[in-house]
Structure 1
């Protein structure tokens, strides 16, 4: 979870109990920290640049144009286009338990420069160009994005003569990681039809349909009609993770569902998910879920009974 420093909390001024704003403005971005100390409804907020909003503490209920309302919680972020009006409820905000959110407005010129860099340096499948997502993208921060956001909270509030330069470098990495996260969500969402004419899409569908079978980069690259090195580079450029990391992520998603079946033991689960050994399954599962398969099953039994 993102944390505000004691220095920030001691130095900022509280002038209103609803969406009190502390702002820092640099060349290519402005960072705003909003704090709400009492319950409120239908608070409107808008930025004239694309914005990344990330929850720090508490809970918001977001109402966006053409979308169903949803809870916005710590550890989550939301990318919004310029001039998008947010209507926000604060159902749990209190003086001793405020709702806090980071909103970072990023200049369109900076985003265009990063996209140009990506299109020149990070080749995609079928020579597609990188571009911004055209919808409101709501996602859970991965470790990389979390660490960048925490670093940016420090850099914006630091009194350093070179902080514009420091922030600029962090913004480029942040934009790249968010676009890769967006691609990963598109490729892995069962609700989105994958274009079979796209080689990477074909391979990803093959992976998802054959998780119980042995899968390796050599065979997958052949199915994509690419060399191993080119396939690995394209895959990682587009999704931000390696093919093996993607396969393990998909297998753990399948495993979490299978472990909910009381008729299956752990050996049944890891074999159906394509893991060669229980020790490797345990290691990968614990790395992603922060608990072992056995502990996960025990939690489910406790909830069930």
Structure 2
């Protein structure tokens, strides 16, 4: 959410993509507000940018990709000079669309990549490199919290805020790179598991999601010690093996709960959960609603 300080200091001059900008040494934060419906609005940055929706809905049209809805809780990574064509089908004066665009210097990104390759190298010796641009994803809790913190820091009047922002930018880049790495493993696991032990384990988890899975079994599949497997998995995926297993189980649970006449007891057992209470707790943490309430929406 935007702070009270932001609204006190910003000047609302344009009804479409009104821009408020805060500039620091390694980044510039732009907040765009649109208060009426509009189409074919063009936007471009001279640095790589992370765009994150705060309120409302946009329809994004990017080079070499299909158009898609851009909604609150989602982010998009774009290269420098990428031209965006944007529609605002629902923007109104009392229901504006608001979006954050964080332009990050390429030097800061390269510095963070070097730091990761020195201190958090990938298991298969490949270097961390720039993520696939036009990467569209849902923010996890950590990225959401970083974005909220940056929104506060850029508008704060503090003598050390440049240092604070620099540290948060570094964490943001690392988290986004790990999220991008996780997406690559999930999309390619069935193709490349023969050449990557981590991809093989991910495919093993997905095929055996209904079974009791433990770190010992997974580390054996990867031919690693438990401690090394845990470290490698969390480094490259951004989450622990248990968190990943729970995410995959909840994905399956949401699919099953949408089917008619499904009993929650059958669903959680089919997804590999050993108790109803643990299933409820994990489901609510990930989906922000209980399994029963979620099921009511579809039945």
Structure 1-normalised TM-score?
0.93
Q: Which residue of 2 aligns with 1:21?
A: 19
Aligned-pair distance for 1:114? 0.5
Is the contact between residue 40 and residue 87 of structure 2 (CA under 8 Å) also seen in structure 1? yes
Is the contact between residue 38 and residue 94 of structure 1 (CA under 8 Å) also seen in structure 2? yes
Q: Deviations over 1:45-68 (max 9, x none)?
A: 111110001111111111001111
Q: Which whole-Å CA distance do the structure 1 matches of 2:190 and 2:114 have between them?
A: 27
Matched, 1:8 2:6: yes
Q: Which whole-Å CA distance do the structure 2 matches of 1:241 and 1:129 have between them?
A: 19
Matched, 1:254 2:264: no
Q: Which whole-Å CA distance do the structure 2 matches of 1:93 and 1:298 have between them?
A: 30
Q: Which whole-Å CA distance do the structure 2 matches of 1:282 and 1:57 have between them?
A: 29
Is the contact between residue 112 and residue 173 of structure 2 (CA under 8 Å) also seen in structure 1? yes
Aligned-pair distance for 1:11? 1.4
Q: Which whole-Å CA distance do the structure 2 matches of 1:114 and 1:83 have between them?
A: 21
Q: Which residue of 1 aligns with 2:30?
A: 32
Q: Which residue of 2 aligns with 1:209?
A: 207
Q: Which whole-Å CA distance do the structure 1 matches of 2:280 and 2:223 have between them?
A: 33
Q: Which residue of 2 aligns with 1:92?
A: 90
Aligned-pair distance for 1:242? 0.5
Query: 1:56 pairs with 38, 54, 69, which one?
Result: 54
Q: Which whole-Å CA distance do the structure 2 matches of 1:165 and 1:119 have between them?
A: 22
SS at match of 1:87: strand
Aligned-pair distance for 1:195? 4.0
Q: Which residue of 1 aligns with 2:80?
A: 82
* Cα RMSD (Å): 1.6
Q: Which whole-Å CA distance do the structure 1 matches of 2:75 and 2:16 have between them?
A: 20
Structure 1: gaps (5+ residues): none
Matched, 1:154 2:152: yes
Q: Which residue of 2 aligns with 1:140?
A: 138
Is the contact between residue 123 and residue 234 of structure 1 (CA under 8 Å) also seen in structure 2? no
Q: Which residue of 1 aligns with 2:222?
A: 224
SS at match of 1:126: coil
Q: Deviations over 1:31-55 (max 9, x none)?
A: 1111112221111111111000111
Aligned-pair distance for 1:286? 2.1
Is the contact between residue 59 and residue 72 of structure 1 (CA under 8 Å) also seen in structure 2? yes
Within a 5 Å distance, the mapping from 1:152-301 to structure 2 comes to 152-189=150-187, 193-301=191-299
Structure 2: gaps (5+ residues): none
Would the alpha carbon gap of residues 125 and 190 (structure 1) be closer, same or farther in structure 2, given more than 3 Å must change?
closer
Instruction: State how many pairs are aligned.
Output: 299
SS at match of 2:45: coil
SS at match of 2:72: coil
Q: Which whole-Å CA distance do the structure 1 matches of 2:279 and 2:296 have between them?
A: 17
Would the alpha carbon gap of residues 193 and 148 (structure 1) be closer, same or farther in structure 2, given more than 3 Å must change?
same
Structure 2-normalised TM-score?
0.95
Aligned-pair distance for 1:193? 3.6
